[in-house]
Amino acid sequence: MQMKKWQFWLGVLISILFLWLALRGLKLGDFWGAMQKANYIWLAPGILVYFIGVWVRAWRWHYLLGPIKKIPTKTMFPVTAIGYMGNNIYPARAGEVLRAVVLKRKEGVSVSASLATIIVERIFDGVVMLAFVFVNLTELAKLTDASGFVGNIQQVAVIGTGVFLGALIVFLLAAMFPQKTMRVSQWMMRIFVPQRFHARLIGVTNKFLDGLASLRSPFNVLMVFLTSVFIWLLETGKYWFVMHAFDFNVSFFALMLMNGIVNLATTIPSAPGYIGTFDAPGIAVLTAYGVDHATAAGYTLVLHVALWVPITALGAYYLAREGIKWNESLRTEAE
């Protein structure tokens, strides 16, 4: 519990640092002026496009879980929304574990197998986010002089690419060679893990490898990748709609770059809801494109709220409907 408190307060400190980076030098009068002039009707189509993206995410999860159990997308959608809600209000992306537990209760799919598919989702998401950055590297190179914060993105993108592609290769090899992976896992257990835990870990590893079964087909890998690209293009569509509420205009490719950067930044530990880690890089990208600070801050704040509130409310509704609370018994079930 002390460690969890330590992690929470570290996240809060990081969020405070990023908020300081985002808001230093901001003139509050100009900021409120930008907020008052905004046409918030544009949030409606943005939110609609975003929920279509969440539905596609539910379909992707249904597709990844197909070799284990065929579960309709309409069943997966509420569980996916619950996961978003959990990520938004609990630290350390606890929503990923929460949705795995909910799926186990509803459909009997093991938590280990679900988590394997969820990790695969996140790896593909990371690859697509980096692709969004790399597609716009030529444009980014023109912006680095305008914002020192953005100037390090190229280096971060290169490092991130190595990490995500390396993880993807490891998971693909594990999926294609499950028996060899199991033998390697058992060898590592004998070296690093006390024998009394071996039986349980072997069971968890077997279920985890079952969750990677969809990656054994090149067609499935391509389908998951293309679906991930579509998901993030839909989310960028929300950025585009919200932009029309404010008095500025940048290209769709610029918003793809912003989307890629802010979502990579939200992998940094922070306070729940990605406070600061979403806002600072978003404002930095827009100011690098010549958007004034007050408008960039107003847009990013509204976008953040529009991304956070609707899906969190929907996930909370679905969680309440399931009669589930995130408590010690639920955490035990996740272990």
- 267 belongs to a structural domain: yes
Confidence of residue 2 (pLDDT cuts 50, 70, 90): very low
Residue 216 lies in a domain: yes
This prediction has a pTM of 0.88
The mean pLDDT of the chain is: 87
Is the pLDDT score of 241 beyond 60? yes
pLDDT (tens digit per residue) in 188-218: 988 888 888 888 888 888 888 888 888 888 9
**Range of 115-124, 152-161, 204-213, 233-242 with top mean pLDDT:** 233-242
Q: How far, in Å, CA of 50 to CA of 16, rounded?
A: 28
Local confidence band at 152 (pLDDT 50, 70, 90 cut-offs): low
Q: Within 13 Å of residue 244, how many CA atoms lie on the same side as its CB?
A: 12
Give the CB-side neighbour count of residue 32, counting CA atoms within 13 A.
2
Higher-scoring residue by pLDDT: 285, 92: 285
Q: Based on the structure, what is the number of domains in the chain?
A: 1
| Residue 24, in any domain of the structure | no
- Give the range of the structural domain holding residue 241, as residue numbers without chain letter: 2-19+35-334
Residue 311 — pLDDT band, cuts 50, 70, 90?
very high
Q: Say how many Å lie between the first and final Cα of the chain, rounded.
A: 16
Q: What is the pLDDT confidence band of residue 3, given thresholds at 50, 70 and 90?
A: very low
Residue 286 belongs to some domain of the structure: yes
Q: What is the pLDDT of residues 128-140, one digit of tens each?
A: 988 888 888 777 7
Burial class (CB in 10 A: 0-12, 13-18, 19+), 330: middle
d(CA 33, CA 241): 20
Which burial class, exposed, middle or buried, applies to 325 when counting CB atoms under 10 A from its CB (0-12, 13-18, 19+)? exposed
